[in-house]
Amino acid sequence: MATTAAPTRVLVTGGAGFIGTHTVRLLLQARSRVMVIDDLRHPCGEPVPKEVELVVADMASPQAIAAMVKFRPEAVIHLAAQGGVSRSLRDPASDALNNVVGTVAVLRGAVDAGRPSIVFASSGGAIYGRARRLPSREGDHAQPLAPYGAAKLAGEGYLGMFHRTFGLHFTAMRYGNVYGPYQDGTGEAGMVAISCQRLLDGLPPRVTGDGAQTRDFVFVEDVARANLLAIARPLNGPVNIGTGRGTSINDIAKTLIRLAGHTGESEPVPARPGEVRANFLNPGRASSKLGWAAEVGIEDGLRQTLDSFRARAAAGGPMGPVPN
């Protein structure tokens, strides 16, 4: 495992969310001083640790930007975003307002805050579209099929401009399908979390279409580790954060059914129009430039995720974030 030399002052936007919670924990373990800016529209339900300076505000608000400038972080891990491909298709303007305009506001604030290095949550699942070759590489043509992916690509474009014009250093993390403890199992995105929640409720996982479509499922703790590694080594470009393997939705559902001790089959639901058939990422650049590779295998990761859902249920919740 590559070691991380985390800087002392790190701002995490969206730090109360799913990936943010795991990233903040790792930063605190590395003895960083952490500020979180999050308006709590979609927190993951885990309390923000008391050592963290929490600013409850929209990332684009004057309050958030002033807090960032005052904090003078050495790095910003920019995770705050409105998730959900389906939601972005229903309301592309609201997606762009939060995910593009919000990101530009954070980058502008970062210039005033002393030019910290930026680790940006992009998306390897949403940016490549119908990939011509698999696994996708960073140099492949990005052809997003949904406003959510277009917003991530726009964010990468702004990062490049802020690098050239304002000297900001950055890494655009093209995560695969991130899964793990504390992901929202009550929404419409996050197949693993939704399936865990359904199994706990005594319902079978839902599988869209024939279930043979593949995704690059990457465990959240591996993603958090990649975020810390990227702080120290900004690439000023994109990097895939995935396993290099495509796992079918059918295989995920079958494994979860077995791990949960359920009998029976998954529940088929109609395929989503325009859904990508296959998506997985070549992680070679992450390995050579960041010293990162996924360490948690899919069976182990699914077991840990299911266990965490069980533990939360046994503790009486919270089962998921407050719905936005």
Ligand X SMILES: NC(=O)c1ccc[n+]([C@@H]2O[C@H](COP(=O)([O-])OP(=O)(O)OC[C@H]3O[C@@H](n4cnc5c(N)ncnc54)[C@H](O)[C@@H]3O)[C@@H](O)[C@H]2O)c1
The answer to the question of residue 125 lying near ligand X (CB under 6 A) is yes
Is 182 marked active-site? Answer: no
CA 105 – CA 87 distance, rounded (Å): 22
8 Å CB contact between 230 and 290:
yes
Nearer to ligand X, 81 or 226 (CB): 81
Shortest distance in whole angstroms from residue 264 CB to ligand X? 27
Q: Tokens representing 84? A: 């959900």
Residue 185 interacts with ligand X (CB under 6 A): yes or no: no
Beta strands in the chain (DSSP E): 9-13, 33-37, 53-55, 75-78, 117-123, 170-175, 177-179, 206-208, 214-215, 217-219, 237-241, 247-248, 267-269
Per CB under 6 A, 215 contacts ligand X: no
- List the interface residues with ligand X, window 96-115 (CB under 6 A): 98, 102
Kindly identify the residues of this chain, within the stretch 5-44, that bind ligand X according to CB under 6 A.
14, 16-20, 37-44
Contact pick of 32, 117, 136, 177 for ligand X (by CB under 6 A): 177
How far, CA to CA in Å, does 228 sit from each of 96, 115, 126, 305? 27, 17, 22, 22
Residue nearest to ligand X (CB): 17
Separation of alpha carbons 210 and 79, rounded Å: 32
Q: Check binding of 59 to ligand X (CB under 6 A).
A: yes
Tell me the closest approach of the beta carbon of residue 1 to ligand X, in angstroms.
Answer: 22
Residue ranges in 74-93 that form contacts with ligand X under rule CB under 6 A: 79-83
Give the SS3 label for residue 240.
Answer: strand
How far apart are the C-alpha atoms of 42 and 17, rounded to whole Å?
A: 6
Contact 29, 5 (CB under 8 A): no
Q: Segment near ligand X (CB under 6 A), from 69-77, 119-127, 261-269, 282-290?
A: 119-127
Residues near ligand X (CB under 6 A): 14, 16-20, 37-44, 58-59, 79-83, 98, 102, 121, 123, 125, 175, 177-178
Q: Which residues are marked as active site?
A: 148
